[in-house]
Amino acid sequence: MKFVAEYRNPEQVEALVNEIKKTITKDWRIMEVCGGQTHGLVKNGILEMLPDSLQMVHGPGCPVCVTPLHLIDKAIYLALEKDVILCSFGDMLRVPGSEKSLLQAKAEGADIRILYSPLDAVKIAQENPDREIVFFAVGFETTSPANALSVVQAKKLGLDNYSILVSHVLVPPAIDAVMNDPETKVNGFLAAGHVMTIMGYQQYQLLVEKYKIPIVITGFEPVDLLQGILLTVKQLESGNFKLQNQYSRIAHASGNEAAKELIRDVFKVDKQIWRGIGEIPESGLHLNDEFMAFDANLKFDIQLAIVEESQDCIAGQVLKGIEKPSSCPMFGNKCTPENPLGAPMVSSEGACAAYYHYSNLNDF
């Protein structure tokens, strides 16, 4: 597979690992922000290759994991009680709400459809004028342009039976939250390369200056990850911190202007609750006044009690990189992918699921 195979080259991997080992002289903790990167590290067995003095801690970049519990409950409520066609990315379906998951609601008779593009939900709305269609618009900056486009499209088509349940979160405020946590132990960041393809990386320069930490924009394949780690370690060892771009084949300083304009047209930035972490100021995207009519939160009368998260789940600590999945007493026994206590055990980007599915033999 071109553009992938060359980043999975075993000789290059070995050379990079050796160079990291040669460069490192102190103990460092590097956070990879994105759950896709966590899976890349664990799935390929990279964590076992790294020197003991280097610890990778796993960040909050798992959209499914940080979607608030009450929004999942709302989605389930809409699908079961309001007879809507609820469309969602596949990954959301297994995430536990306070009582059940969307997958369980589907088994109970809710009309829940897995889509890959929100524009397909607009198509379903056109085809079913007598039904209400709600798209569960979840994700970081990466999915927000397509979700924005869906409401622009619905507005253009004059559809009044389409709305979205928005849970959009932004990466830079999450880095702020991690750095401002008194328990934080992070010395540097691998930033999520694909977010930069949309947003560009000017904002990250400010974070480097504010916290005096290295940030390296990094891809997802083994060679990408190891190059990102090497660049970060070199900065840490030299004490000279800057923003570096390992993912320059795709990520550019200004990002995708058309996508950014779409996001600005449709959304406004406001506070947002992150599951397991709590409220972070200026960290979410919400529909702006012009597109309020497409906000499922306002369109439907949703009366649901706010339910507290299970005390047994330490997802918040895991998402902030303070605890590792394997240090949770519930991990692998009371909490498994079949019977998850928290979202990180379910999502294909969740750190707990990564540890569970791709663990080293010694972990079991």
Partner 1 sequence: MSDKIKMQLQCPMPDLDYDIITLGHGSGGKLTNRLLEKTVFEVFNNDEINTRHDGALLKMNGNIVFSTDSFVVSPIFFPGGDIGELAVNGTVNDVAMCGGIPKYLSLSFIIEEGMKMKDFWNVLIGVKYACDKAGVQIVTGDTKVVERGKGDKIFINTTGIGELHPNADIRLERVKKGDKIIVSGNIATHGISILSVRRGLEFESDIESDTCNLNHTVITLLNEFGQDIHLMRDPTRGGVASTLNELSRDSQMGFDLKECAMPIDGQVASACEMLGLDPLYVANEGVFIAIVKASRADQILNKLRTLEFGNNSAIIGEVVDDHPGKVIIESKIGGKRVVHMAVGEQLPRIC
Residues that bind partner 1 (CB under 8 A): 1, 4, 8-10, 13-14, 36, 42-46, 48-49, 63-64, 87, 89-94, 103, 113-116, 120, 138-140, 142-143, 194, 222, 337-338, 347-349, 356-361, 364
CB 106 to partner 1: min, Å: 11
Contacts of 154 (CB under 8 A, 6+ apart): 122, 125, 162, 294
Select 114 or 159, whichever has its Cβ closest to partner 1.
114
**Amino acid at position 233, single letter:** V
Select 117 or 317, whichever has its Cβ closest to partner 1.
117
Query: Do the beta carbons of residue 318 and residue 57 sit within 8 Å?
Result: no
Select 57 or 353, whichever has its Cβ closest to partner 1.
353
Q: What gap in Å lies between CA 297 and CA 299, rounded to an integer? A: 6
CB 312 to partner 1: min, Å: 20
CB 337 to partner 1: min, Å: 4
CB 217 to partner 1: min, Å: 16
Q: What gap in Å lies between CA 308 and CA 170, rounded to an integer? A: 23
Select 70 or 168, whichever has its Cβ closest to partner 1.
168
CB 196 to partner 1: min, Å: 13
Select 46 or 71, whichever has its Cβ closest to partner 1.
46
CB 212 to partner 1: min, Å: 30
Q: What gap in Å lies between CA 35 and CA 171, rounded to an integer? A: 12
Query: Do the beta carbons of residue 302 and residue 167 sit within 8 Å?
Result: no
For residue 104, give Cα distances in angstroms to 65, 131, 139: 18, 22, 22
CB 223 to partner 1: min, Å: 9
Select 120 or 309, whichever has its Cβ closest to partner 1.
120
Select 10 or 239, whichever has its Cβ closest to partner 1.
10
Tokens coding 143: 């999915």
Tokens coding 122: 């607009």
CB 358 to partner 1: min, Å: 4
For residue 224, give Cα distances in angstroms to 6, 100, 182, 334: 10, 38, 30, 35
Select 303 or 333, whichever has its Cβ closest to partner 1.
333
CB 340 to partner 1: min, Å: 10
Select 113 or 155, whichever has its Cβ closest to partner 1.
113
Q: What gap in Å lies between CA 101 and CA 224, rounded to an integer? A: 35
Query: What ranges in 6-109 are assigned the alpha helix state H?
Result: 10-23, 35-43, 46-49, 63-66, 69-81, 102-107
Q: What gap in Å lies between CA 99 and CA 330, rounded to an integer? A: 19
Q: What gap in Å lies between CA 133 and CA 164, rounded to an integer? A: 8
Count of C-beta atoms within a 10 Å radius of residue 26 = 10
Tokens coding 142: 């990466």
Within 13 Å and on the Cβ side, how many CA atoms surround 90? 4
